[in-house]
Amino acid sequence: MQFLPELTLLGASLILFMVSLKDSSNNGISNIAIILGALVFGSTLLSFSQEGSLFFNSYKVDLFSQIFKTLIAGAMLVVLLLGRDLKGINTKVRPEYYLFMFISTLGLMMLVSSVELLAIFVALELSSFAVYIMVPMRDDSGRYRIQMEAGIKYLLFGVTATGFMLFGMSYMYGLTGSTQLPVIIESLSSLYSEPAAVIAVLMVLAGFFYKLAIFPFHFWVPDVYEGASNETTAFIASVPKLAATAMLIRVVTMINGDGQVIVNVLMVCAVLSMFYGNLSALVQKDIKRMLGFSGIAHAGFVLLGILTMQITGYANAIYYIIGYVVMNLACFLVICTVSKEGENVQINDLSGLHQRAPLLALTLGIGLFALAGIPPFVGFMGKFMLLAGALQEGYLLLVILAAINTAIAIFYYLSVIRIAYCSDTEGRGSVIASPLTNIVSVTLLLIITIMGVLPQRFIDFAASAVTAML
């Protein structure tokens, strides 16, 4: 039971592998994938209250990991649903595409449960390698060749980040003589006066910074978002970020009062991510690129919660990343539906969307309002809690800089809404969304609103999960 979600995913991957061996037109493959995704989601719900440890204590199943597994499975299911037509991928490679998506999700699920360096490393690589392949799988028979460039850039930056993380892990192992996280936490707590310990923790953090796209490891974001097909980008922009936040929290809980240097570095990274992301997003024409830069800025906000080193701070970060993933998926749902043959969507392509597809325009509008941090949606509550939490810990300067960033961000989000609502269609045809897409978008809108109106329950729940993990 404790390992049920992972086993289901593994089984689903095997089924997809079998399908990929068959040389047929694969018409129903996306339906098979959606059913398998729903099964995985169901299995995470079934094993939600499980607890225990597996594989010689290198794999811990607790409330913290189960919450994240459920979220990861849910986000994957939404990605499968909104990319049901899979316009950007050649029909011949669709089974393989889904296979890699499931394997990547498997890696992420294993990552949130891993409490041993080797397990973390292997799970992280499993999730990364599958995504490296998904990026260049975009249909190259048309006019696109940028997906190849995006793929190799993604891989090279990823390998560099992994190299940093491994080098940090080797110092951690050398300093503590163990690869078990609980043992490392205990031994490292008396070692923070040593530069080697600080460098080790920072280098291990680098690997997760890369996944979450925080400042020094963010270079891949705009290129990969633009180069990958819309569905792949929706996956990259949502699912790995959940797991990366979980792992950042796990690693940051290692730091105790003597590790002020690390907290200072995290502060600098958070502020630089926000400024870099928001200022670059101002001038983008491609909406995926814009969302990529805004993702860098939001990752800075998540870091703001984590670096307070309080349980409430961690809980706020979890709440914020959940909200971010839902808002982002709402935006990508619109992008995937508006894009006719899987081409990239420019911001101008959204003109007059409220006439062409009212529900999609509403989804985009609420998603962007929420991302900009306007009440009563989840983005506002999340930002408010994070800033209040940081202020309580005395990071006044940080809060001021973050508030300035919120103001900058409103400009580019609202200018997209202006184009979608206040401009003419200019002869662009109407966009037809399937009933399933409409159901998904209404569900996402409900989640965004409910999480924004009633945040306390979610935050208390996240706090209890973090307490269970510590």
Partner 1 sequence: MSVLTLHNSLTTYLVIAAILFGMGVYGLVTRRTLIGMLIASEMVLIASSINFMAFNRFTAPDPAVGQIFTLFIMAIAAAEAAIGLSIVIAVYRNYQSVDTEDLVDLKG
Phi, psi at 341, each rounded to 5°:
-120, 30
Q: Choose which of 31, 57, 91, 170 interacts with partner 1 (CB under 8 A).
A: 170
Closest separation in Å from C-beta 329 to partner 1: 24
Q: Is 234 exposed, middle or buried (0-12, 13-18, 19+ CB in 10 A)?
A: buried
Q: Choose which of 85, 96, 149, 258 interacts with partner 1 (CB under 8 A).
A: 149
Work out whether 171 is an interface residue with partner 1 (CB under 8 A): yes
Pick the closer one to partner 1 by CB: 117 or 387: 117
What x/- string results for residues 354 through 373 when contact with partner 1 is judged by CB under 8 A?
--------------------
Q: Where are the beta strands (DSSP E) in 49-202?
A: 52-54, 59-61
Cα–Cα distance, 326 to 138 (Å, whole number): 24
Closest separation in Å from C-beta 268 to partner 1: 20
Pick the closer one to partner 1 by CB: 152 or 347: 152
- Number of Cβ within 10 Å of residue 185's Cβ equals 18
Distant-in-sequence, close-in-space partners of 260: CB < 8 Å, separation ≥ 6:
none
Work out whether 142 is an interface residue with partner 1 (CB under 8 A): no
Identify which range of 138-146, 348-356, 368-376, 431-439 contacts partner 1 by CB under 8 A: 138-146
Work out whether 133 is an interface residue with partner 1 (CB under 8 A): yes
Distant-in-sequence, close-in-space partners of 293: CB < 8 Å, separation ≥ 6:
221, 222, 276, 277, 278, 280, 281, 284
Work out whether 347 is an interface residue with partner 1 (CB under 8 A): no
Cα–Cα distance, 311 to 305 (Å, whole number): 10
Work out whether 17 is an interface residue with partner 1 (CB under 8 A): no
| Beta-bridge partner residues of 61 | 52
Work out whether 277 is an interface residue with partner 1 (CB under 8 A): no
Q: How many residues does the chain have?
A: 470
- 267 secondary structure, DSSP code: H
Work out whether 190 is an interface residue with partner 1 (CB under 8 A): no
Cα–Cα distance, 209 to 457 (Å, whole number): 28
Closest separation in Å from C-beta 26 to partner 1: 22
Work out whether 136 is an interface residue with partner 1 (CB under 8 A): yes
Q: Is 435 exposed, middle or buried (0-12, 13-18, 19+ CB in 10 A)?
A: exposed
Query: DSSP 3-state assignment of 23?
Result: coil
Work out whether 166 is an interface residue with partner 1 (CB under 8 A): yes
| Beta-bridge partner residues of 116 | 180
Pick the closer one to partner 1 by CB: 118 or 396: 118
Write out the binding residues for partner 1, residues 211-230 only, by CB under 8 A. 219-223, 226-227
Closest separation in Å from C-beta 121 to partner 1: 7
Work out whether 87 is an interface residue with partner 1 (CB under 8 A): no
Work out whether 150 is an interface residue with partner 1 (CB under 8 A): yes
- 286 secondary structure, DSSP code: B
Identify which range of 173-181, 312-320, 350-358, 415-423 contacts partner 1 by CB under 8 A: 173-181
Phi, psi at 138, each rounded to 5°:
-60, 145
- Number of Cβ within 10 Å of residue 117's Cβ equals 22
Identify which range of 66-74, 174-182, 259-267, 377-385 contacts partner 1 by CB under 8 A: 174-182
Question: Smallest Cα–Cα separation from 191: which of 166, 163, 165, 171?
Answer: 171
Closest separation in Å from C-beta 134 to partner 1: 11
Closest separation in Å from C-beta 238 to partner 1: 21
Identify which range of 67-75, 125-133, 204-212, 432-440 contacts partner 1 by CB under 8 A: 125-133
Work out whether 349 is an interface residue with partner 1 (CB under 8 A): no
Work out whether 343 is an interface residue with partner 1 (CB under 8 A): no
Q: What torsion, rounded to 10 degrees, do the Cα atoms 207, 289, 320, 124 define?
A: -20
What x/- string results for residues 93 through 122 when contact with partner 1 is judged by CB under 8 A?
------------------------xx--xx
Work out whether 295 is an interface residue with partner 1 (CB under 8 A): no
Closest separation in Å from C-beta 297 to partner 1: 16
Pick the closer one to partner 1 by CB: 53 or 187: 187
Query: Which tokens belong to 133?
Result: 């392949």
Work out whether 146 is an interface residue with partner 1 (CB under 8 A): yes
Residue 426 φ/ψ region, left for φ over 0, alpha for ψ in the -120 to 50 degree band, beta for the rest: left
How far apart are the two ends of the chain, measured CA to CA in Å? 23
Q: What torsion, rounded to 10 degrees, do the Cα atoms 31, 33, 35, 37 define?
A: -150
| Beta-bridge partner residues of 183 | none
Q: Choose which of 129, 276, 384, 461 interacts with partner 1 (CB under 8 A).
A: 129
Q: Which residues bind partner 1 (CB under 8 A)?
A: 117-118, 121-122, 125, 129, 132-133, 136, 140, 145-146, 148-153, 155-156, 159-160, 162-164, 166-167, 169-171, 173-174, 177-179, 219-223, 226-227
